């Protein structure tokens, strides 16, 4: 039998144990690098799983819907209703404010017989306030507050007549903001 021609591959040492295309030497795999890559892969899978779970539960929204613009509700504008009876109470130390306010309401075409006035039980009420009893009276109270010059408006049944629950009455308590004199200061103890 004829002998094959010798070439350069016949001179490879046989100590490597590799034959043919696998003659390259295998790189040494470091155990720490394999462990590090396994931790990174596990961490990526855990984070992705948590994210998908939160997304499916609705705790995270990728593309939130545009929020509706909050449109402020307009303040109710008052209506001057001269069919209401008005009780004016002067809660300041200055006398005559109730009479002055009564005269200004009469000048604004409020019927004279629907306005009563007098002194309040206290002399140090801070702000002039118009009180009304029911929700239906609110616009009339706002209108009266605007007519007398920017008083506060509050709902209270303190001045409501228990014998006549259908009475249409507004109560104006004149406060220190309308007074030109300050209340008497309490004496401070001597040192």
Report the CATH number of the 85-178 domain. Answer: 3.30.70
pLDDT tens, 72-89? 776 767 788 888 889 899
**Total-model pTM:** 0.56
**DSSP structure string for 45-102:** HHHHHHHHHHHHHTS--SSPPPPPPPPPPPPPPP---TTSEEEEEE-SSSTTHHHHHH
50, 51, 57, 61: CA torsion to nearest 10: 160
Task: Output the CA torsion sign for 39, 44, 48, 50.
Answer: positive
pLDDT tens, 20-74? 666 566 566 678 888 899 999 999 999 999 999 999 998 888 877 777 777 777 6
Domain parsing of the chain, residue ranges: 31-63, 85-178
Give pLDDT, residue 109. 87
Please tell me the number of Cα atoms within 13 Å of 39 on its side-chain side: 6
Check: CB of residue 25 under 8 Å from CB of residue 13: no
């Amino acid at each position: 039998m004829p002998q094959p021609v010798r070439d350069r591959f016949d001179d490879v040492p046989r100590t490597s144990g590799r034959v043919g295309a696998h003659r390259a030497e295998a790189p040494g795999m470091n155990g720490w690098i394999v462990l590090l890559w396994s931790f990174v892969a596990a961490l990526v899978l855990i984070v992705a799983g948590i994210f998908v779970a939160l997304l499916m539960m609705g705790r995270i929204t990728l593309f939130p819907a545009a929020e509706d613009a909050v449109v402020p509700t307009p303040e109710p504008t008052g209506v001057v209703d001269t069919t209401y009876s008005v009780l004016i109470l002067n809660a300041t130390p200055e006398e005559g404010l109730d009479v002055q306010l009564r005269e200004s309401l009469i000048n604004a075409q409020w019927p004279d017989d629907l306005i009563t006035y007098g002194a309040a039980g206290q002399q140090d009420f801070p702000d002039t306030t118009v009180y009304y009893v029911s929700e239906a009276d609110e616009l009339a109270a706002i209108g009266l507050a605007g007519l007398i010059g920017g008083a506060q408006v509050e709902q209270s049944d303190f001045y409501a007549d228990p014998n006549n629950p259908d009475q249409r009455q507004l109560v104006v308590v004149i406060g220190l903001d309308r007074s030109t004199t300050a209340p008497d200061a309490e004496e401070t103890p001597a040192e």
